[in-house]
Amino acid sequence: MLDAPGSSTRSVAALRWDGERLHLLDQTLLPAEERWLSLTGAHDTAEAIARLAVRGAPNIGVAAAYGLAMAVSADPSPAAVREAAGILSSSRPTAVNLAYAVERVHAAASGATGELGERAAPAAARAEAERVHSEEILAAGEIARLGAELLRGRRRILTHCNTGALATPGAGSALGVITALADANPNVTVLACETRPLLQGARLTAWELQRLGIGFELLVDGAAAGLIRTGQVDAVIVGCDRVAANGDVANKVGTYAHALAAAAAQIPFIVAGPTSTVDLGTPDGAAIPVEERGGDEVVAFGGTAIAPDGIAVRNPAFDVTPAALIDAIVTERGVARAPYEESLAALAA
Ligand code: MRU
C-alpha cells in the first residue's frame, strides 16, 4: 500500500494504492459515513473525480495517474492509452494537477512502448504514478515546514475549503501548514469557513481538525470579512488549484473575497501548494478555465430543496485571486513573492 509514510498518525490518507487497484475514501459521504471505493480503470476514476468522491488538486492528480496506470494494464495499445488519458484529463478543468499527472504517466507508458514494446508499458505507467504520488507526499511535508516558519507567531488563522490530508497525499497544503504551526504552538486556533455550496470546510476540514485535536471554530463564508476587519484574524492561508505564471491563483469559490478582506485589514494572505499546481504555461488568471458545476448543488442540499423550483443559478466552483492580493505562495521548493513572474519561474521551471 502506498499511502502517507511518515505523515502524522493523527491524519488520514484518503487515497491508497495496492499495486493493482486504487482505493478512495468517498468524500461525498463524509462526515456521516466512511466508505471506501475500489476503482479499476480510467472510467470509474474519472467519474469519482467528476463527482468529487476524490477532490483537492494534488489528490485528483494522483488519482488520475493511477487511473491511467490501471487503464494501461488493461490495454497498453497507444490508441487505448490516448483515449484513457483524454477521459481522465477532462474529468475536471481547473486544477492543473490533473493534466500534469496524466501527461507524466502517458509519457512513461509511451516511452516504454517505443523502446521495449507494449508489454513494458503497464509497469512503466505504474512506476510513474507511484512516483507522482510519493513526490506529492514529500512536497506536502516541505510546504508544511516552510509555511509554518512563515506564519510563526500568528495565532488565529482563517482558511477556506479543505486543504488537508483529504485533499493531498501526506499532510495537506494550507491545512498542513496550520497543523505544523499548531504542533509548535498549541494556542493556534483555526477559523474554518464552511465553503458553500458543497461544504468542504464544514464537512471535511472540521472532520480533519477534530481528529487532529486542533482548536477551531466553523463559520459561514459571509462571516469572514467582518471578523477580519475587526481584528479577529491574524492571517489567512488557502490552497490552490492552478497558479498562473504571473501569480494569479484559482482556488475554491469564495477565496477572492477573503483576499480582499485581508488586504483591506493589512493581514497576510498566503497561498500554499505544490509546484505541480503551478502552470507556467498559463500566463494569467484570465486564461484559467473555471469549472461551472450544476445548479442542483446550489438549490438543494442532501436531497432537500433550499430554493424555489425552476430558478436560474450560477455555480462557478472556483474564483481567481489576483497576484497583487497575495503576500506569498509557499511551495515545496521555497516561498515565492512578487514579482511572481520571476519567483515562480525560478521555483517551478
Ligand atoms: O472542488 P474541490 O473540493 O476539489 O476544491 C478544492 C480546493 O479548492 C482546494 O483549496 C485546492 O484544491 C487545494 S487542496 C490542496
d(CA 318, ligand 1 centre) in Å: 9
Atom of ligand 1 nearest to the CA of 198: 3
9 part of a folded domain:
no
CATH number, residue 175: 3.40.50.10470
3 part of a folded domain:
no
Tell me the pLDDT band of 115, cut-offs 50, 70 and 90: low
* DSSP 8-state code for residue 223: G
Do 218 and 71 fall within a single domain? no
Do 149 and 284 fall within a single domain? yes
| CA separation for the pair 43, 220 (Å, rounded) | 35
Instruction: Please say if the pLDDT value at position 8 is more than 80.
Output: no
Do 173 and 252 fall within a single domain? yes
Do 284 and 172 fall within a single domain? yes
Return the exposure string of 258-270: e unless at least 16 CB atoms fall within 10 Å of the residue's CB, then b. bbbbbbebebbbb
Atom of ligand 1 nearest to the CA of 291: 1
| CA separation for the pair 211, 329 (Å, rounded) | 27
Contact 267, 191 (CB under 8 A): no
Do 119 and 256 fall within a single domain? no
Do 267 and 120 fall within a single domain? no
Rounded to whole angstroms, what are the CA distances from 166 to 4, 14, 206, 229, 287?
11, 5, 12, 30, 28
5 part of a folded domain:
no
Do 103 and 196 fall within a single domain? no
d(CA 95, ligand 1 centre) in Å: 8
Do 97 and 181 fall within a single domain? no
Residue nearest to atom 15 of ligand 1 (CA): 163
7 part of a folded domain:
no
Do 52 and 178 fall within a single domain? no
Residue 303: Cβ-neighbour burial (10 angstroms; 0-12, 13-18, 19+)? exposed
- Domains contained in the chain, number: 2
1 part of a folded domain:
no
In the chain, the percentage of residues whose pLDDT exceeds 70 is: 96
In the chain, the percentage of residues whose pLDDT exceeds 90 is: 93
d(CA 173, ligand 1 centre) in Å: 10
Q: What is the predicted pLDDT for the residue at 117?
A: 74
159 part of a folded domain:
yes
Q: What is the predicted pLDDT for the residue at 4?
A: 40
Boundaries of domain holding 79: 15-139
200 part of a folded domain:
yes
Do 319 and 205 fall within a single domain? yes
Q: Which of 143, 158, 162 to mutate to test the pocket of ligand 1 (most atoms within 8 A of CB)?
A: 162
d(CA 196, ligand 1 centre) in Å: 13
Considering only 6-20, 46-60, 245-259, which range has the smallest mean pLDDT? 6-20
Name the domain boundary from 139, 168, 203. Answer: 139
Instruction: Please say if the pLDDT value at position 3 is more than 80.
Output: no
Q: What is the predicted pLDDT for the residue at 95?
A: 97
Give the tens place of pLDDT for each residue, 172-206: 999 999 999 999 999 999 999 999 999 999 999 99
286 part of a folded domain:
yes
Name the domain boundary from 139, 173, 197. Answer: 139
Taking each helix axis from N to C terminus, what angle separates 174-184 and 121-150, rounded to the nearest 10 degrees? 50
How many CA atoms are closer than 13 Å to the CA of 8, on its beta-carbon side? 22
Atom of ligand 1 nearest to the CA of 200: 3
Give the tens place of pLDDT for each residue, 220-254: 999 999 999 999 999 999 999 999 999 999 999 99
User: Coil, strand or helix: which one is 90?
Assistant: coil
What percent of the chain is helix, strand and coil (3-state, nearest 5)?
Answer: 45, 15, 40
Atom of ligand 1 nearest to the CA of 272: 15
Q: Which helix (H) or strand (E) holds 329?
A: strand 328-331
d(CA 116, ligand 1 centre) in Å: 38
Across 264-274, average pLDDT: 98
Across 288-310, average pLDDT: 95
| CA separation for the pair 91, 272 (Å, rounded) | 24
Q: Which of 26, 200, 255, 315 to mutate to test the pocket of ligand 1 (most atoms within 8 A of CB)?
A: 200
- Pairing state between β 269-272 and 235-238: parallel
Q: Residues near ligand 1 with C-beta < 6 Å?
A: 55-58, 95, 161, 163, 167-168, 173, 200, 239-241, 251-252, 317
Name the domain boundary from 114, 139, 164. Answer: 139
Atom of ligand 1 nearest to the CA of 318: 8
* Residue written as grid cell 486542533: 214
Find the distance separating the first CA and the last CA of the chain, reported in whole Å: 31
Q: Which of 55, 91, 166, 277 to mutate to test the pocket of ligand 1 (most atoms within 8 A of CB)?
A: 55
| CA separation for the pair 236, 137 (Å, rounded) | 23
Across 139-158, average pLDDT: 98
d(CA 164, ligand 1 centre) in Å: 9
Do 104 and 149 fall within a single domain? no
Residues recognised as catalytic? 241
Across 319-338, average pLDDT: 98
**Total residue count of the chain as it appears in this document:** 349
Do 335 and 207 fall within a single domain? yes
| Average confidence score pLDDT of the chain | 95
CATH number, residue 21: 1.20.120.420
User: Coil, strand or helix: which one is 53?
Assistant: coil
Q: What is the predicted pLDDT for the residue at 2?
A: 47
